[in-house]
Amino acid sequence: MTLFKKVLLCFSVTLLLNCASGYEIIAPKSINYISKIETENVKLEYKYNLLDKKYAKKELKKGVKLVAVKISNNTTRDLVFGKDIKLTYLNGSEAFVMENETVFKTLKQSTASYLFYLLLTPMNLYTYKTNNYGVQETNSSTPIGLIIGPGLAGGNMIAAGSANKKFESELLNYNLNGTIIKKEEVKYGLIGIRTNSFESLKLKVE
């Protein structure tokens, strides 16, 4: 493999790895929850590992875990999440629950980062021919960077922006912070907690 082909291969792989990723809707209501625990007639069902691609990488890098939850209030009174019921670990320590808006800002894709593709704008495609003396010389030059650079930058920024919009919308739709869960009601939510581990969770009823 020639040096040019090696460089081209590395460049192509880099482009693929740095492309914007889509967002797959989580839909907490449709999840088959495996982890379940009940405390004082309030049942918690939850699931980790909801995100993929760039969002999952951000989770790992930022020390945040997004959790889908299903809370069934089987008591005789209304409960407010974050006040009457709080998310804790099995050892009793309280989980650091983030505001969903903060979760979004922490895990969203950076659209501005794709502007680096504009560095490809000066790139040209050269063709060569051998002259009568057996020496290679440039035959033509095509400014392909004028299409590739802005095209990749714009395309990835649009894709990342669209994915972020879906992510933010779902986080807001399933925001449980301060939500009233009426007696005999079931609520679904997406909760971001500040942690690097996948510890077992439970609810503390006050």
Q: Are 70 and 45 in contact (CB under 8 A)?
A: yes
pLDDT digit string, tens, across residues 82-99: 999 999 999 999 999 999
Name, in order, each residue with C-beta under 8 angstroms of 179's C-beta and a sequence gap of 6 or more: 80, 81, 187, 189
Collapsing DSSP to helix, strand or coil, 163 comes out as helix
Reference 60, options 73, 69, 72, 51; nearest CA is 51
Q: Percent of the chain having pLDDT more than 70?
A: 77
pLDDT digit string, tens, across residues 5-23: 444 444 444 444 468 888 9
pLDDT digit string, tens, across residues 172-189: 999 999 999 999 999 999
Provide the pLDDT for residue 19.
81
pTM above 0.85, yes or no: no
